[in-house]
Amino acid sequence: MIALSFDIEEFDLPLEHGIDFPVERQMAVSRQGASFILDILARHGVKATFFSTVSFAEAAPGIISRLLADGHELASHGMQHSQFEIADLQRSRQRLSEIAGRDVIGYRQARMMKLDEAEIARAGYKYDSSLNPTFIPGRYMHLTTPRLHFWKDGVLQIPSAVTPLVRFPLFWISAHVLPQKLYRALVRHTLRHSPDFVTYFHPWEFYDLTSLDIKLPAIVRHNAGEGMRQRLDALIADLKGRGYQFATLSEVYRRYADK
């Protein structure tokens, strides 16, 4: 089962690199990128999960309305991308549920940072997809955590996909920098050893970042815009052509919760 997910948030990446980038422009980049994503998913008829910050959801009502109308899942990515406090867990779930008109049951912490699962359970979430079970210098050291789904404090943990044994991460950076055939081969190899394949992207990856008057790291700019739109389109087409099924993360959760 393929579970594509997208962290739709304000494009605050420039701030991490000391670049002043107004909130209005952050939202505009993410709105356009999210629109490109929805176009690709609609073309292939596949559903995905969108983890949204409340700030983005309120700034992009048209995007939220469209993704819900298209049958995608809305999940929580907190109140804001660059600020967090524990109370945001419940506040964001409540506000996004109001916006969606349905219960929000999934959570992903900004930048996949670790949180106490008991707090996530207390906020009313059923699943958490905040774990990248790999080692990335300066970011993650999760080589001893489970690679596949597991339960903790009553919450289903749904990690991002990594390859068996060496735990090479197959998230957005890998999709940017690896040759397409190699990335897709690693995805298929991982699926042979895993019941699900969960990966995540961001709207700004599908926006032409070279059009912005700011200097971003090469790894961020690499294949951004049309390159990533083509890559996501080709990835979905390849997997569909091989008979793989796509699902939202809430559907993945229900499959295990019902057992």
Phi, psi for residue 50 in degrees, rounded to 5: -115, 115
Predicted pLDDT at 111 = 87
pTM tops 0.95: yes
Q: Name which of 254, 216, 233, 234 is nearest 37 in CA terms.
A: 233
Predicted pLDDT at 91 = 98
CA distance 132 to 1: 18
Assess contact for 258 and 156: CB atoms under 8 A.
no
Predicted pLDDT at 22 = 95
Predicted pLDDT at 139 = 85
- State which residues of the chain have pLDDT below 50: none
Alpha helix stretches (DSSP H) within 106-221:
117-122, 172-177, 180-191, 218-221
Assess contact for 6 and 206: CB atoms under 8 A.
no
Q: Cα angle at 33 between 105 and 100, to 5 degrees?
A: 30
CATH code at 2-257: 3.20.20.370
Q: Taking the domains of the chain in order of start, what are their residue ranges? A: 2-257
Give the max Cα distance, the chain. 52
